[in-house]
Structure 1
């Protein structure tokens, strides 16, 4: 009998003895933001697809993103927030961990040279 085969049979016996005769995949969980995405379908909200393609707006979005990612105190959600720039007007969207993160991202955007106004639509997960 090959060396690894006996280990496989032993493992199989333990799994069977514990009642794990068949492994089933967990049912797929609904996406966290599925309900939120329906609001974007009407065309009344700004989405990343509305990002202006001017070099000034792209550079402004990149500057904000760089400052956000540089701040290691922010959560992964905050680092991945949507930053949409159109004519110097910045829209922030997506989930963040806390209201403090929401405020911090707005402050970062407002302090970025060239930003005219910030529409903060970030959604804190906890109060």
Structure 2
């Protein structure tokens, strides 16, 4: 039995399979996931688990060099936007309209569905390397 880190077998395998520049998404309970993108559905009920809980756990295991966010998060969810910036630090950020983010999500290796119910808590992360 795994002792720490991401215990969800599907999510752990998805993270382990990431290669440099692969994209993956962490999204809210209502974010549409395009056909063909593997869904790791962690949502239990409203607010469980939160976006922050999932992102904290994922970032303990995945190297990230860039992210894509909806322009709308800055105005409609500034608290979560600040959290993302603090958590990810000085990586490369790219902002785009929410509709464009939904379109880009079709290129993700997998998408993690959380129980988050706040506006625009969706991020596409680009895997980095640890060396």
Give the structure with higher Rg (CA).
1
| More helix as a share of residues | 1
Which of the pair has the greater relative contact order for Cα pairs under 8 Å at 6+ separation? 2
Q: With structure 1 as the length reference, what TM-score do the two structures score?
A: 0.25
